[in-house]
Amino acid sequence: MSETAPAAKRKMPQHTKIFVGLLLGAMAGAIAQSVLPEGTANQALKDFNANWATPLGDIFLYLIFMVVVPLLFSALVNGVAEIGEAAKVGRTGLRALLLTIILSGIAVGIGLGGVNLVKPGAGISDAERERLTAGINAEEAKKKAEVKAEADEPPVWGIIPKNPLKEANRALTGGILPFMFFALVFGLALAAVEPERAAPVKNFIEGLFLVSQKMVEFAMKYAPIGVFFLVFRAASSLGANAVVAVGQYVILVLAALALHMFVTYPIFLKFVAKRDPVQFFRQCKEVILTAFSTSSSNATLPVALRVAEQEVGLPRKTSSFVLTVGATANQNGTALFEGITILFLAQFAGVNLDFSQQLTIMGLAILAGIGTAGVPGGAWPMIGVILAKFGIPVELIGVVIGIDRILDMSRTVLNVVGDITIAACVSGMEGGGVAIPEGVD
Ligand code: ASP
């Protein structure tokens, strides 16, 4: 009998727990706001938010942030080293890299276009915004001032660092781009070193990547509690407008993902891979279901490898390389999602991002597609870093992370189908496209 209890307990999946945390936090926050005298302005509520809800929510965010530097470094170096090695081997790598950049660029472009058009975060009133971000902005401004004082040797064009360790030190407050640049060059150099001599460093960095992923997993265990408090604070400072804004955001993300999946991919499949897109999607059915249910490109890799070869009929040489590298290095869905989320939260916080800042976000989101781990919630560390870079309160992550699972499931489908699409395109460019007779399943 005692065996059934833990088994039953284990059954509630982590994402459901996070969702429950979100619901309870939202309900408790809304109730606190409406039953306390003077609502949001109530001193006891303010004190509770400052002394309890904020630190207990921050624990979750900080558990994620502390892994950003090793995670990003190891993921980028691994990804770039693999692409670099492949480029050495032949044109396959270069073609895959080029397609990755083009497809990710289109994905982020769709996301940014959509969020500028719909402006889901703009419906928040100034008073609500002030209540939510009151204590945060002052702190943020203070931190930024400290960073400015520290950055006495600014990176060239804001990208090429003199001292990467210093940039790692301020990764969460603006140093992330130069730090990523360092990781890119490190990965390229690693690929250029003789394989036997590079092996110890490669193995170490691969190990570092696995450990960092585990740390994110640990943080996700605390997520239900962290999300409860983050959402409590948001809900007790915001009104119904926030719910409408988040609803619009969810619909926008899903619509943009659908556009990329059912318009961009088919165009590339038809004209570059020379394949029938409808049939291609049918062949990928199993991959789509696995990616959707696991929310993890890495976990879907074995299925993707088999399907690419046996169902889609791609040559093993091309597909095994493109898919293995692509599981971490090509994440169209994630890049699109990150672009939308950052702009949405900026609108939510009332932070105005001009065109050139949006272009920087586009570049960062494309790089983030390479530097994001293919695990559930892998996108969040990078989102936190980009938010901090633009002075958007990272606590706002609490507004959306509770409903992330469904978005994560959907973007992971695009990540994996994008890998197979690229493999099909590369194979098509190499003359391996399969002409499929019309109307045949
Ligand atoms: N879950 C995604 C993947 O594995 C990563 C993310 O966007 O969070 O592809």
Q: Which amino acid is at 369?
A: G
In this structure, what token pair is assigned to residue 34? Answer: 């409406």
Q: How far away, in angstroms, is 411 Cα from ligand 1 center?
A: 7
- pLDDT interval class at 441 (50, 70, 90): very low
Within-domain flag for 441:
no
Identify the residue whose tokens are 């994001």: 372
Q: In angstroms, rounded to a whole number, what is the distance separating the alpha carbons of residues 304 and 412? A: 12
Number of domains in the chain: 1
Mean pLDDT across the stretch 396-406?
80
Residue 183 lies in a domain: yes
Report the atom number in ligand 1 closest to the C-alpha of 376.
Answer: 1
Q: Is residue 437 part of a domain?
A: no
pLDDT-based confidence at residue 340 (cuts at 50, 70, 90):
very high
Atom of ligand 1 nearest to the CA of 378: 8
Give the model confidence (pLDDT) of 251-273 as tens digits.
999 999 999 999 999 999 999 99
Separation in Å, CA 87 to CA 98, 309, 328, 415, 433: 11, 22, 17, 22, 21
Calpha distance 231→402 (Å, rounded): 8
Q: Which atom of ligand 1 is nearest to the CA of 412?
A: 9
Pick from 130-144, 158-172, 214-228, 389-403: least confident: 130-144
Supply the range of the domain harboring residue 372. 14-429
Inside any domain, residue 1: no
Mutate to test the pocket of ligand 1, among 67, 294, 296, 383 (most ligand atoms within 8 A of CB): 296
Nearest Cα to Cα of residue 228 among 22, 435, 40: 22
Q: Is 279 domain-assigned?
A: yes
Q: Are 303 and 290 in contact (CB under 8 A)?
A: yes
* 2 within some domain: no
The answer to the question of residue 5 being in a domain is: no
Among candidates 42, 68, 52, which has minimal Cα distance to 386? 68
What are the Cα distances from residue 171, in Å, to 154, 167, 359? 13, 6, 19
pLDDT of 201 above 90: yes
Which of 62-66, 96-100, 133-137, 416-420 is predicted with the least confidence, judged by mean pLDDT?
A: 133-137
Average pLDDT, the chain: 80
Whether residue 388 is contained in a domain is answered as yes
Instruction: Please list every protein residue whose CB sits less than 6 Å from any atom of ligand 1.
Output: 295-297, 331, 334, 372, 374-379, 408, 411-412, 415
CATH of the domain at 303: 1.10.3860
**pLDDT (tens digit, 9 = 90+) per residue, 288-307?**
988 887 888 877 887 888 89
Please calculate the CA angle 192-196-199 and round it to the nearest 5 degrees.
80
Is 80 exceeded by the pLDDT of residue 318?
no
71-103: pLDDT as tens digits: 878 877 887 777 666 665 567 777 888 898 899
DSSP labels, 399-421: HHHTTHHHHHHHHHHHHHHHHHH
Helix, coil or strand: residue 264: helix
Of 270, 436, 226, 253, which Cα lies nearest the Cα of 334? 253
Determine the average pLDDT of the residues in 309-330.
Answer: 79
pTM listed for this prediction? 0.72
pLDDT reading at 283 higher than 90: yes
